[in-house]
Amino acid sequence: MDAVTNVTGRAVPMDRSNVDTDQIIPAKYLKRIERTGYGPFAFEAWRKDPDFVLNNASYDGAVIMLAKHNFGSGSSREHAVWAIEGLGVRALIAPSFADIFRNNCFQGGILTVELPEEDVDELMRRATDDPTTEIEIDLETQTVRAAEWERTFEIDPFRKYRLQRGLDDISMTIEYDADVAAFEAQRSPLFPSTGV
């Protein structure tokens, strides 16, 4: 995973609450066995509406998506993150995210920033009024900026540490091999085994 320190650029406003992962990537594309190439299918049904925000060329090249409550609800499909990544989006800002979706974003190095609803609304207003509005997210200082406007956000320190260094979760955990083995040694033998 690439290190994430700063995401700066234009932001596309996704002005709907409870956007579910079936909208972000429909189930029929989950038959693919690759990790990439999902961008063209992102929000497929909504993109049929010419007025849908992703059809507005002013937002081409946006690296941030502004969203509403409970973004990414529903299915655990990580394909939703791969689809958003395929759109060129590197960070999401919303009042809240669905838990599994947020975990999946973290795994893929997509930054999720939670801000109070009125702050997200303010950013949506700015990005809607002027699609060239630049937003900066700085992970080190945990700050979101749009011109003179500035807010700080919370992030779990472990996740921040990992994102800033672009560390791979699995290699990190493998370093705990001895701890895992010690845990297994004292684990109850009554837990079931799947052996046929």
Which residue ranges make up the site for other proteins (CB under 8 A)?
A: 16-18, 20, 22-23, 26-28, 30-35, 45, 68-70, 73-79, 81, 96-100, 103-104, 107-108, 156-159, 161, 169-171, 173-174, 176, 179-180, 183-184, 187-188, 190-196
7 vs 105, beta carbon nearer other proteins: 105
Alpha carbon separation from 28 to 42, 54, 62, 78 (Å, rounded): 12, 21, 26, 14
50 vs 157, beta carbon nearer other proteins? 157
Task: Using the minimum distance from each CB to other proteins, give the nearer residue, 60 or 99.
Answer: 99
In angstroms, give the least distance from the CB of 39 to other proteins. Answer: 16
- Please report how close the Cβ of residue 190 comes to other proteins at its closest, in angstroms: 5
Looking at the Cβ atoms of 148 and 175, the one nearer to other proteins is 175
Nearest approach, Cβ of residue 112 and other proteins (Å):
13
Nearer to other proteins, 57 or 196 (CB): 196
In this structure, which amino acid lies at residue 89?
Answer: V
Shortest CB 149 distance to other proteins, Å: 22
Helix/strand/coil (H, E, C) string of the chain?
Answer: CCCCCEEEEEEEECCCCCCEHHHHCCHHHHHCCCCCCCHHHCCCCHHHCCCCHHHCHHHCCCCEEECCCCECECCCCCHHHHHHHHCCCCEEEECCECHHHHHHHHHCCCEEEECCHHHHHHHHHHHHHCCCCEEEEECCCCEEEECCEEEECCCCHHHHHHHHHCCCHHHHHHCCHHHHHHHHHHCCCCCCCCCC
Residue 62 CB, shortest distance to other proteins, in Å, is 22
